[in-house]
Amino acid sequence: MSFPTQRPRRMRGNPALRRLARETQIAPQDLIYPLFVREAIAEPQPIDAMPGQVQHTLESLTREAEAAIKVGVRSFMLFGIPAGKDTQGSGAWIEDGIVQRALRQLRDAFGSDALLIADLCLCEYTDHGHCGVLDGERVDNDRTLEIYQRIAASQAAAGADVIAPSGMMDGQVGAIRSTLDHSGFTDRAILAYAAKYASAFYGPFREAAGSAPRFGDRRGYQMDAGNVREAVREARMDVDEGADMVMVKPALAFLDVIRAVAESTQVPVAAYNVSGEYAMVKAAALNGWIDERRVLREILLGIRRAGAQMILTYHAKAAAADIPCWDEMG
CB of 101 to ligand PBG, least distance (A): 20
Question: Quick check: 135 and 141 in contact, CB under 8 A?
Answer: no
What type of residue is 158?
A: A
- 196 vs 326, beta carbon nearer ligand PBG: 196
Q: With CB under 6 A, what is the number of residues at the site for ligand PBG?
A: 13
Our finding on whether 120 is near ligand PBG (CB under 6 A) is no
- 77 vs 326, beta carbon nearer ligand PBG: 77
* All residues at 6 or more sequence positions from 189 whose CB lies less than 8 Å from its CB, including other chains: 161, 162, 163, 244, 245
CB of 92 to ligand PBG, least distance (A): 11
Q: Which of 206, 147, 197 lies closest to 172, judged by CA?
A: 147
CB of 59 to ligand PBG, least distance (A): 23
CB of 11 to ligand PBG, least distance (A): 37
Q: How many C-beta atoms lie closer than 10 Å to residue 256's C-beta?
A: 13
CB of 152 to ligand PBG, least distance (A): 15
- Taking the CA atoms of the chain, what radius of gyration do you get in angstroms? 20
- Residue 270 parent element (H or E): strand 269-273
Our finding on whether 126 is near ligand PBG (CB under 6 A) is no
Name the one range near ligand PBG by CB under 6 A: 40-48, 146-154, 176-184, 204-212: 204-212
- Compute the CA torsion angle 146, 180, 129, 99 (nearest 10 deg): -140
CB of 20 to ligand PBG, least distance (A): 35
Name the one range near ligand PBG by CB under 6 A: 83-91, 94-102, 200-208, 317-325: 200-208
Residue of the chain from 37, 61, 114, 123 that contacts ligand PBG (CB under 6 A)? 123
Residue of the chain from 54, 69, 131, 299 that contacts ligand PBG (CB under 6 A)? 131
- In whole angstroms, what is the distance from residue 117 CA to residue 112 CA? 13
Angle in degrees, CA 211, 212, 215, rounded to 5: 130
Residues 220-249 that bind ligand PBG (CB under 6 A): none
The distance in angstroms from the start CA to the end CA of the chain is: 29
- In whole angstroms, what is the distance from residue 204 CA to residue 218 CA? 16
Q: Which of 186, 138, 192, 141 lies closest to 163, judged by CA?
A: 192
Residue of the chain from 30, 39, 64, 119 that contacts ligand PBG (CB under 6 A)? 119
- In whole angstroms, what is the distance from residue 269 CA to residue 239 CA? 11
Q: Write the binding mask 266 to 305 for ligand PBG: x where contact by CB under 6 A, - elsewhere.
A: --------xx------------------------------
Our finding on whether 57 is near ligand PBG (CB under 6 A) is no
- In whole angstroms, what is the distance from residue 330 CA to residue 22 CA? 10
Name the one range near ligand PBG by CB under 6 A: 15-23, 66-74, 173-181, 199-207: 199-207
- The catalytic residues are 196, 249
Q: Which residues bind ligand PBG (CB under 6 A)?
A: 119, 121, 123, 131, 166-167, 202, 205-206, 211, 218, 274-275
